[in-house]
Structure 1
Amino acid sequence: MSFGDPNNPYGPPQQPQPGQPPQQPGYPSYPTAPQPGYGYPTAPQPGQGYPTAPQPGQGYPQAPPVPQGYGYPMQMPMQMPGIVMTARVLLFILAGFQFLAAVIFGILVAVAGSSDADTGMVAGVVAAVALLMLALGSLSVFLGVKMRNGRGGIRIGTMIYASLMILGSLVNIGQGVSETAAAGALGGIISLAFGITILVGMIKGGDWFNRPRY
């Protein structure tokens, strides 16, 4: 028995196939709009959708500043303390006096040169003093130069040198007073002041000589 054309929308209703929803009688079946959760994306709802620009006080955290020096923090070099700088300057001034004394004693040796035995002995003593002054002046310059980048050895050597200077100055002052030699006493006082200042600078400037080297 024929029921007509199955594609005729006005024909008798067709029996639904298993797994398909039933159709309304007399109307053709058309595809419906996709339900939420599948199909084409829908417009964003309030509270959803694309991220907006960050508000003040929000947003991504800023990157920390990159330290200079290929990842290592830069270390400022330590400045030479004032007391150490003073001791260094005094060493250079002391060297100038010592070189001047060496020149004066050298001139006296040249003037007093004679074949007399007594005069020759005095000239020999004066020449030895001139050489001593020259050596002490060179040592003062060496300690002053090395104090810039020197380590503990320069500090200890300068302390010993200043201590001997103080001792020699006290002996010189004592002889000057006993012999009423004003020039010797004045030189001893100046040398004593230099020695004490240099020794104090070495005692208080331990951090400078023990500083780390980079």
Structure 2
Amino acid sequence: MTEPQPNPYGLRVLSSPAQYRQQAARHPARQLVNLAEAIPGLRLDIRYATADNLLGYPLYQQAQAWLRRPVAEALKQVQQALAAHGAGLVVYDAYRPYSATVLMYQKVQNEDYAAPPWRGSRHNRGCSVDVGLVNQATGRPLPMPTAFDELSPAAHSAYEPVSSEARRHRALLLKTMAQFGFVNYPGEWWHFDYAQWAEFGLLDLSFEEL
């Protein structure tokens, strides 16, 4: 299969649906999986499909969440483990097309909170997920230290002081995600990278093209 040509930043970003399908057929682990179909009871709150995000306008046309197959399988194990605590996952964002990352960086202009286009994001590899917790029975969000995508020190994973309830939920999320191979980005309590993210390439495919 022909490799994508380097973009102006020297990155090889796969943007051909046909090439993606060929790659997924040869290497099933590289296939992106629809989380709503793969993980029972999973809640979606895809902020970038709405105007309720740091950009102020929708970045996606559809409220969907996708991850590479092994990442989705690991997240499914997280969901199952959380059930013992009466909790479940809510996904705010997962796979993000490279072009969306470029737009986000143009808005934020801060590498602490947005991946620059010359590096790309682990979201673009289908290996990062932004999550919070919900009450398993009601589906209502459980209190966390901040709202999703709050760009402040209070969003840091070790920030104090926070309420005892928020601290307990944050600790449960961090511990359970780590148990199944996810590494937290310490600047954002909600952001987790699959430990083997480097094995997967950058993608720029819309949800509709998947």
**TM-score band w.r.t. shorter chain:** under 0.3
| Higher RCO (Cα < 8 Å, 6 or more apart) | 2
Give 1 or 2: higher helix fraction: 1
Larger strand share, 1 or 2 = 2
- TM-score, structure 1 length as denominator? 0.23
Please give the TM-score of this superposition, normalised by the length of structure 2: 0.23
